[in-house]
Amino acid sequence: MDKAVKNGIVQPGQYLILRFDFSRVTRHHESTESLEREMNRGLSKFKLKYTKHLGELFASTTSSFTQSDPAGNLTDLVLAVHRALQGIQMRGDKDHPLRDVRGVSLF
């Protein structure tokens, strides 16, 4: 991302950051439970941080996450963000804090 910013491809503030900390994932088990838990943790933190600005439709769309399906949850979250951002842009809300945001970037 830093390289894209330095080269002028991406401007700061154009993407909402979704972070995962895979260092907490236990690797000695064959179970994917730890990975699923970490992915859901990252998704939950993102929802807490951005729901206020993304609105009620985003909140209701992402309220039914399934603990055992973090990949599906991620897909639903990205689609919900995309719809919310489209709504903000279509309304032409010049004062909205996310009016220039283009999408989600995963880290």
Residue 26 within any structural domain of the chain:
yes
Give pLDDT, residue 107: 66
Q: Which uninterrupted H or E stretch holds 2?
A: helix 2-6
Please give the model's pTM, rounded to 2 decimal places.
0.80
Residue 4 within any structural domain of the chain:
no
Collapsing DSSP states into helix, strand and coil, what is residue 15? Answer: strand
Residue 88 within any structural domain of the chain:
yes
**Domain extent at residue 80:** 11-106
Angle at 45 between CA 44 and CA 51, to 5 degrees: 80
**Rounded to an integer, what is the distance from CA 96 to the centroid of its chain?**
18
Residue 101 within any structural domain of the chain:
yes
Tell me the β-bridge partners of 106. Answer: 18
DSSP string, 44-91: HHHHHHHHHHH-HHHHHHTTT--TT-HHHHHHHHHHHHHHHHHHHHHH
Give pLDDT, residue 3: 65
Q: Which uninterrupted H or E stretch holds 39?
A: helix 33-54
- For the chain, the domain total comes to 1
Residue 66 within any structural domain of the chain:
yes
pLDDT tens-digit profile, the chain (107 residues) = 566 556 666 566 788 888 888 787 777 666 688 888 889 999 999 999 999 999 998 999 999 899 889 999 999 999 999 999 999 999 988 899 999 888 887 76
Give pLDDT, residue 25: 79
Residue 33 within any structural domain of the chain:
yes
Residue 5 within any structural domain of the chain:
no
Give pLDDT, residue 7: 65
Give pLDDT, residue 14: 80
